[in-house]
Structure 1
Amino acid sequence: MAVSVPSLNWLRVFEAAARAESFARAASELNMSAAAVSQQVRALEERLETQLFERQAHAVRLTEAGRAYLPGVQQALLTLQSTTEGLFGANRAEQLYVRAVLLFAHGILAEGHGDFSTQNPQITLQIDTGNSIGDFSQGFSDLQIVFGNPSAYGAQGEALFSERLYPVALPEIAAQITSPGDLLRQTLIEVGTHRAGWPHVFESSGIWPGAVKYIFADSTIMAFALARSGTGVALARAPASDRAMAEAGLVPCLEGFSVAGQEAYHLVYPDRAALRPAARRFREWLVAYCAERS
């Protein structure tokens, strides 16, 4: 049976009491009486039908269930506080929330963050990552950077750049590959969430793959980790994957060999005219930054 989310007050009291290991100290922090803290904790335990604290004479200790519950409660309260302050606090115009595809965030935003911050020191940028449509439907963001069909994510937007695909592996494996046909004798690491993968590379190159051994990963970052372990050959997705490729110690397998991908990265948002000032500045910076690298 589903359990409804408890009262926010109960959760705040639980978190303070757990952190202080004392109802009295939690009461002082929250400007409540110790009896009121105890009462709200008891109400939470009754709602959850689970004991969260072991009561002692002058202290309380979390039960196993309480210890398991605490990190999630703390994260939820922190997210709620930061979002509230960012949207409605005194500095709300200078808070910026961006959600981006993981590979783009790792390969483009992480590298460019310093440049943006230097130009806009008054803006606090929070970057969250995701890969699926479901990831991008959770929580608030001013702007989203997605890969694929932009209409599935936002009402308005613009293309940033597309990608080029080419095989990469550890240097000792790459040295064994001197022609595209040599790829067919390797284990190929495929990212199943992309439209353009190894079959697209083979078709674009006029190669009939026949029987090929594949293993699957859920992201390019994971595919590179597998390639780094010597498992097989992965596909680079330049330029977003350049940084991850270098960090994994991978090299191109065939110099000058690449094919164009089928999709592009897009910046999306509900309404350009309604963007907050920080979001408008980020949009202008990102479009120019990506144009220099495409």
Structure 2
Amino acid sequence: MLGGMERPRIPSLNWLRVFEAAARTESFARAAAELNMSAPAVSQQVKALEGHLGMPLFIRHAHAVRLTEAGRAYLPSVQMSLVSLESSTQGLFGRAREERLYVQAVLIFAQGILAPLYGDFTARHPDIALNLTTGNATEDFAHAFADLKIVFGAPSAHGPAHDRLIGEVLYPVARPDIAERIGTPADLLAHPLLEVATHRAGWPHVFSHLKMLGAGARFVMVDSTVMAAALAGSGAGIALARAPASNPVVAAQGLVPCLPGVSVPGLEHYHLVYPEAATLRRPARVFRDWLLESCATIARG
């Protein structure tokens, strides 16, 4: 007893490993495959942890699970603890067969840059298990645990150390049947213009480059380039491509440039953010070097 209260027992390490995998994959079945367990065994371990803590960590659905508020609050601490234990074990007793690395990236960068390069990284570094999660809003990055974070815009809001990766180039894109009706910049104003609210550089920035006021423009506000591209693909309006990160989603939606030859440099860049270089674990240092090299190659075209 301590101060009249019972000291809580630390949960089983197996329970925490299973919880982390299920939370990350949002599926007991996928967690079971990753951990070489059965799905019922994963469910049993999670129930044991929830019983130990005295509250539910997941909301169960038919084919997926979702973290409760308590689960979301607990996950970063669990991930940090597992990483710390892994690092200590490797430092004292030699490198493990596989080191786990947590990277969180803004969605469009993850889809457009990291996904196409994922195979290259894993082929070069099969000893590093890369766990990639995404976010969009600033708050998505504020409380989540990651060794490295890839953000767009001001990096200092996310960590004290950072590397500039790549910028963006903007140009209007639409379905081919809409794009063929755009002969001059003024023709853009006849269509709804899909605007990403979180970006400093948007349609007003493009209008300024084209030396037009944009009076009468009809904006449809969305929260991401992925959503803007999806709406443009459905014929809902004209979006702004943000190359090179948006290249795959633009191609997947069948979008084409509305004004070939028109491109406008953006105002912000993607940054790799971390606490400080001296504290990075080995897999994070390896990933950082690889990503800087890869982005330099992309920037050179």
Q: Same fold (TM over 0.5)?
A: yes
C-alpha distance in structure 2 between counterparts of 1:67 and 1:109, whole Å: 30
- Match of 1:95, SS state, is strand
Per the alignment, do residues 71 and 291 of structure 1 end up closer, same or farther by CA in structure 2, a change over 3 Å counting?
closer
**1:85 shift after superposition:** 3.6
The equivalent position to 1:72 in structure 2, one of 67, 74, 79, is: 67
Whether 1:234 and 2:231 are equivalent positions in the alignment is no
C-alpha distance in structure 2 between counterparts of 1:262 and 1:198, whole Å: 12
**1:132 shift after superposition:** 2.0
Amino acid at match of 2:67: G
Partner in structure 2 of residue 247 of structure 1: 252
The equivalent position to 2:156 in structure 1, one of 148, 151, 158, is: 151
Whether 1:171 and 2:166 are equivalent positions in the alignment is no
Partner in structure 1 of residue 134 of structure 2: 129
The equivalent position to 2:273 in structure 1, one of 257, 268, 273, is: 268
**1:281 shift after superposition:** 0.6
Kindly indicate whether the alpha-carbon contact (under 8 Å) linking 2:165 and 2:269 is maintained by their aligned counterparts in 1: yes
Amino acid at match of 2:246: S
- Match of 2:119, SS state, is helix
Per the alignment, do residues 79 and 160 of structure 1 end up closer, same or farther by CA in structure 2, a change over 3 Å counting?
closer
**1:189 shift after superposition:** 0.5
Partner in structure 1 of residue 282 of structure 2: 277
The equivalent position to 2:202 in structure 1, one of 197, 201, 205, is: 197
Partner in structure 2 of residue 100 of structure 1: 105
1:54-102, Cα deviation, whole Å (9 max, x unpaired): xxxxxxxxxxx9857x753697688776654443135498211111110
- Match of 2:270, SS state, is strand
Whether 1:160 and 2:165 are equivalent positions in the alignment is yes
**1:139 shift after superposition:** 2.6
**1:180 shift after superposition:** 1.1
Whether 1:210 and 2:206 are equivalent positions in the alignment is no
Kindly indicate whether the alpha-carbon contact (under 8 Å) linking 1:171 and 1:251 is maintained by their aligned counterparts in 2: yes
**Deviating 4+ runs (over 2 angstroms):** 6-9, 40-44, 65-68, 70-87, 89-93
Root-mean-square deviation (CA), in Å? 3.4
Kindly indicate whether the alpha-carbon contact (under 8 Å) linking 2:192 and 2:237 is maintained by their aligned counterparts in 1: yes
**1:200 shift after superposition:** 0.7
Kindly indicate whether the alpha-carbon contact (under 8 Å) linking 1:99 and 1:145 is maintained by their aligned counterparts in 2: yes
- Match of 1:107, SS state, is helix
For 1:111-130, list aligned pairs within 5 A: 111-130=116-135
- Match of 1:96, SS state, is strand
Partner in structure 1 of residue 229 of structure 2: 224
Partner in structure 2 of residue 180 of structure 1: 185
So what's the TM-score if we normalise by structure 1?
Answer: 0.75
C-alpha distance in structure 2 between counterparts of 1:263 and 1:66, whole Å: 38
C-alpha distance in structure 1 between counterparts of 2:53 and 2:78, whole Å: 23
Unaligned ranges ≥5, structure 1 = 1-5, 20-24, 31-36, 49-64
Unaligned ranges ≥5, structure 2 = 1-7, 20-27, 29-39, 90-95
More deviation, 202-211/81-90:
81-90
Partner in structure 2 of residue 87 of structure 1: 84
Partner in structure 2 of residue 33 of structure 1: none
Number of residue pairs the alignment of both structures matches: 250
Per the alignment, do residues 43 and 169 of structure 1 end up closer, same or farther by CA in structure 2, a change over 3 Å counting?
closer
**1:268 shift after superposition:** 1.2
Kindly indicate whether the alpha-carbon contact (under 8 Å) linking 1:87 and 1:95 is maintained by their aligned counterparts in 2: no
Amino acid at match of 1:244: V
Per the alignment, do residues 180 and 80 of structure 1 end up closer, same or farther by CA in structure 2, a change over 3 Å counting?
same
* Identical pairs, percent: 47
- Match of 1:162, SS state, is coil
**1:252 shift after superposition:** 0.8
Kindly indicate whether the alpha-carbon contact (under 8 Å) linking 1:93 and 1:276 is maintained by their aligned counterparts in 2: no
